[in-house]
Amino acid sequence: MKKIVFISLVVIALLAIAGPVFAATIRIDPHSSTYPNPVMLTSPATFNISDVSKTDYDPHILLVMTVASYNGLSGDVVVTWSGGSLTFLKTDFKLATFGGGNKIPPGVANSAEYTVASCADHLGVSGHDVYYAFGKFLANPITSTKQEFTITASSTALRMLVYAIGRECSPTAPLNNKVPNTQPGLVVPELVPALLSLGSFSALGVYAIKRRRK
């Protein structure tokens, strides 16, 4: 019994030293339910965002696209929500190179970073570089109440992930909470071009493609 008590105390002490463990509790819907099967939405794409258990202050949106998507941009990428909007120029997107465990975006806590390798996998371009843009959005903190936002983008090869990052539980906390790596939003072109661009995927049948009703 003494040994069990001693081991328990050691475990508790180690947990205290390690400090708080942050979970990725922000959700964007629709999202992929099982990696690597993303739900695809055409542009303009409308999403809902919420947090399953906490409040996240100072919300930021992270958009990650393929090099081909970046090269084919024919206009600004615009994010709109009730009472506001955010416009990303092509020059706002930064190159993130593959390899060396590189992570994005800069300036956030380790718990809120995404590896370039993971993003490339989700975009279907494993082993390649990506482009990303990062900025503040939404008028209110992220809570359990869903908020709607819409992304409009135009590219000859549109393929873009949608993530979000916030300050967990406190406006003065670092940017330390995020959407899980495996549950991004995904914006692609209209249905036919999307199917053509995915022709090289052997597992095309597992993709759920949802076309926005007009």
pLDDT at 87 exceeding the cut of 90: yes
Residue 10 inside a domain? The answer is no
Note the pLDDT of residue 34: 52
- Residue 68, domain member (yes or no): yes
User: What value does the mean pLDDT take over residues 114-129?
Assistant: 95
Q: Give which of 66, 77, 45 is closest to 210, Cα–Cα.
A: 45
Q: pTM for the whole thing?
A: 0.79
Asked whether residue 7 is assigned to any structural domain, the reply reads no
**19 inside domain:** no
**Do residues 164 and 178 lie in contact, with contact meaning Cβ atoms separated by under 8 Å?**
yes
Q: Total domain count for the chain?
A: 1
Per the domain annotation, does 93 fall within a domain?
yes
Domain that holds residue 41: 24-209
Q: What single letter denotes the amino acid at residue 195?
A: L
Q: What is the structure's pLDDT at 189?
A: 81
Contact between residue 51 and residue 27 where contact means Cβ atoms under 8 Å apart: yes
Give a yes or no: residue 182 inside a domain.
yes
The answer to the question of residue 204 being in a domain is yes
- Name residue 127's amino acid: G
Q: What is the pLDDT of residue 134?
A: 98
What is the rounded average pLDDT of the residues 147-175?
Answer: 96
- The tokens describing 161, both together, are 């992930």
Residues shown for the chain: 214
Please choose, from the candidates 161, 142, 49, 64, the residue with its C-alpha nearest in 3D space to the C-alpha of residue 104. Answer: 64
Residue 48: inside a domain, yes or no? yes
pLDDT at 197: 43
